[in-house]
Amino acid sequence: MSASQDEEMRKLERATPKSKAIYEKAKVDVPFGVHSTYRYSDPYPVYFTRSKGTRLWDVDGNEYTDYNMGFGVLAAGHSHPLVVRAIREQAARGTDFGFEWEQTPKYARMICDRFGVDQVRLSNTGGEATMYATRFARSFTGRSKIVKFEGCYHGGNETLLVSVKPSKAKEGDPRFPNAVPSTLGIPESSYRNTLVAPFNDLEAVEEIVRKNADDVAGMILEPIPMNMGFVLPKPGFLEGLRSLADQYGFVLIFDEIKTCGKFYGGIRDYVNVQPDLITLGKAIGGGVPISAVAGKRKIMETIVPGVVSHAGTFNSNPLCVAAGIATLSKVLTKPAMNRAARFSRTLAKGYQDVIDDEGLRAHMSQAGLSGAIAFSSKPVTDWRSFQACDTGKWFAYCFAMMNRGIIPAGPSPDEQWTVSVVHTKDDIEEHLEAFKEVVGYVKKYDKTAEIVEAI
């Protein structure tokens, strides 16, 4: 640990004694004191008590301007009054019927119109949605293999929890990566039919597909990977995947659990490529657990009772659907999202100006409502280049920003910021002023010798 990182960490510890006390109690009953592994961080998780708009308050009373925004869930902001009202009113009418709710078709039509799809099925989490999407691809094509991309995360289902963050010792050839399970407890049989490809290398992807042409049922990817920073696709890459899907007859799946909340109409607002299926989640509910699989009618209509299963007690839960209707119709409007995107661009430009002025070894990437800083000598284009980033510098930056009242992004180097529709110009200026102060601390941190600068 660097002296600067240590200084900022100690300062954060002095400001959060109640979080430390809660953690000591919580970890007795809960492994690592958290209910999602990604919420744990050293020296202990910070525990929060309330939120409103762009603000979070921890149990010690510290106030933060939030740019994590629930890992992108809260593009509408914390506790948006229109979303809260919709939930409150529906809760008084019923929280679950065990049957379909009369307003759910309205929400389905909103999704179809907004994201340019024919039909949709609702679930609860992103992991459920990606699991069903790959099932639908396999049932539709009658094939078994799924291509996924190294560094992309698609939830906890065992087909796809492969090569998310593989170590250098296990990852294999950069153009033809090994399939590396991301956790103990996944038998080889669960990922035997998962093929791993490198992001942004179209020639390698084509060779992998060609060698398995008769067996590839589908290909799933984050069109902008957001679990290795914020990785923009190279020009022509997504278009090339569309051509491969057409040529080899497999189902192209865009995992838009995150990108559906970064652009008004999803990734198609960024690049003109239409997949066969998309998965949606996070932002479309305004802060409640809801997700969807949507896509072409010829695929979706194969979901037939007794033939292809899609089920769940809480699917299309009326509380979540009510929140979703309010979110899409009244909060995440096109003008509001365009405004947030302009603020996101301003934030990225401000970061880049500081980087240039200070001679900081770092790179910015940004699109839509999100962006990220990578402490590296080269831009991040895939998982292998992300591994060259200086994570020590990132944590020094994160601790220092939190000590100045800014949660700058998700709580780890592989996350990004989300500018919500309720962030203001003053919020952005405050963020940039904090970064100007922090950059001096970050520059003190010397990269450890084992990190290689060039891939």
DSSP bridge pairs for 218: 146, 251
Residue pointed to by tokens 């994590």: 68
Q: What letter would DSSP give residue 212? A: T
Exposed/middle/buried for residue 230 (C-beta within 10 Å: 0-12, 13-18, 19+): buried
Residue 149, token pair as written in the block: 């991309």
Bridge-based pairing state of the strands 216-221 and 406-407: unpaired
For residue 148, pLDDT beyond 90: yes
**What is the spatial distance between Cα 66 and Cα 51, in angstroms, rounded to a whole number?**
9
Residues 251, 271 contacting (CB under 8 angstroms): no
Confidence at 5, pLDDT banded by 50, 70, 90: low
105: helix, strand or coil: helix
Give the number of C-alpha atoms closer than 13 A to the C-alpha of residue 156, restricted to the C-beta side: 7
Q: Above 90 in pLDDT, residue 388? A: yes
Residue-level pLDDT at 72: 95
Q: At residue 280, what are phi and psi to the nearest 5 degrees?
A: -125, 155
CA atoms within 13 A on the CB side of 82: 15
What is the DSSP secondary-structure string of 318-380? HHHHHHHHHIIIIIS-HHHHHHHHHHHHHHHHHHHHHHHHHT-S-EEEEETTEEEEE-SSS--
Token output for 434 = 């904090």
In the CATH scheme, what architecture does the domain 3-75+333-444 have?
A: Alpha-Beta Complex (3.90)
Is the alpha carbon torsion for 188, 189, 192, 193 positive or negative?
negative
User: Could you give the angle at which helices 425-444 and 3-15 cross, rounded to 10 degrees?
Assistant: 130
Model confidence at 448: pLDDT above 90: no
CA distance 191 to 376: 32
Tens digits of per-residue pLDDT, 307-335?
999 999 999 999 999 999 999 999 999 99
Predicted confidence at residue 8, as pLDDT, reads 87
Q: What average pLDDT score do residues 212-231 get?
A: 97
């954060």: which residue's tokens? 12
Q: Rounded to whole angstroms, how far apart are CA atoms 157 and 194?
A: 12
Kindly tell me the sign of the dihedral angle through the C-alpha atoms of 125, 259, 254, 38.
negative
Instruction: From 333, 267, 321, 341, select the one nearest 115 (Cα to Cα).
Output: 267
Q: What is the pLDDT of residues 160-218, one digit of tens each?
A: 999 999 999 999 999 999 999 999 999 999 999 999 999 999 999 999 999 999 999 99
Tokens 């996924």 locate to 148
Q: Is the pLDDT of residue 90 over 70?
A: yes
pLDDT of residue 452: 38
User: Looking at the predicted structure, is the pLDDT value of residue 450 above 60?
Assistant: no
Using CB atoms within 10 A of its CB, is residue 204 exposed (0-12), middle (13-18) or buried (19+)? middle
CB-based contacts of 154: which residues, under 8 Å, 6+ apart?
A: 126, 127, 130, 148, 160, 161, 220, 222, 255
* pLDDT at site 9: 87
Q: Hey, what are 406's tokens?
A: 């800014």
Prediction pTM value? 0.95
Q: Assess contact for 321 and 107: CB atoms under 8 A.
A: yes
Nearest residue to 122 via CA among 304, 418, 320 = 320
Residue ranges per structural domain of the chain: 3-75+333-444, 81-331
What is the structure's pLDDT at 38? Answer: 84
pLDDT for 454 equals: 38
CA distance 368 to 418: 9
- What is the average pLDDT score of the chain? 94
Contact yes or no for 370/72 (Cβ under 8 A)? yes
Strand partners, 417: 371
DSSP label of 74: T
Give the integer Cα–Cα distance in Å for 196 and 172. 11
Q: Is the pLDDT of residue 107 over 70?
A: yes
Percent above pLDDT 70 for the chain: 97
Please state whether beta strands 363-367 and 119-123 pair in parallel, antiparallel, or not at all (unpaired).
unpaired
Q: Does domain 81-331 bear CATH number 3.40.640.10?
A: yes
C-alpha 253/C-alpha 140 separation (Å) is: 13
Instruction: Check pLDDT > 70 for residue 289.
Output: yes
The partner residues of 363 in beta bridges, in order of sequence, read: 374
Beta strands 251-256 and 216-221 are parallel
* Strand duo 63-66 + 55-58: pairing: antiparallel
Of 37-51, 132-146, 272-286, the range with the lowest mean pLDDT is 37-51
Give the mean model confidence (pLDDT) for residues 130-142. 98
pLDDT class of 6 with cuts at 50, 70, 90: confident
Q: What is the mean pLDDT of residues 209-236?
A: 97
Residues recognised as catalytic: 153, 255, 282
pLDDT band for 447, please (50, 70, 90 cuts).
very low
User: Strand 406-407 to strand 63-66: parallel, antiparallel, or no bridges (unpaired)?
Assistant: parallel
In this predicted structure, the answer to whether residue 453 has a pLDDT above a threshold of 70 is: no
% the chain with pLDDT above 90:
91
